[in-house]
Amino acid sequence: MASGNAIRGSRVGAGPMGEAERGESAPRLRISFWCSNGHETQPSFASDAQIPDTWDCPRCGFPAGKDRDNPPDPPRTEPYKTHLAYVRERRSDADGEAILAEALAKLRGEI
């Protein structure tokens, strides 16, 4: 049921604001960036700002560059490795057999 409150959902001082109240906005440049998936994004920058070489694509998250024909390569993601995979990178099978034999000898009380 609606009450008689006419300003429901608005705040005090709300209303149309123009440049007269906010001041003039800085001059802007819209620069196009393209990612490797062909997405184009056009962020706006202040005319005196330093323009970055790459920009993150808001659609896919890949890096985007200013050259449409030669966009930056997508980042290479490494697959998840288990602890055992890291151990196998550091140790050979012979090292693993020696460590296992030593641990078993300790458990058996031979050492």
pLDDT tens-digit readout, 37-71: 999 999 999 999 999 999 999 999 999 999 999 99
Q: Residue 77 has what pLDDT?
A: 85
Span 90-103, average pLDDT: 91
Residue boundaries of the structural domains of the chain: 28-65, 77-110
pTM confidence score: 0.54
What dotted CATH number matches 28-65? 2.20.28.270
Tell me the per-residue pLDDT of 5-26, one tens digit each, with 9 for 90 and over: 555 666 666 666 555 666 777 8
Q: Residue 18 has what pLDDT?
A: 57
Question: Binding site, residues?
Answer: 35, 39, 57, 60
Beta-strand (E) ranges in 1-111? Answer: 28-30, 33-35, 40-41, 44-46, 54-56, 63-65
Question: Binding site for Zn(2+), residues?
Answer: 35, 39, 57, 60
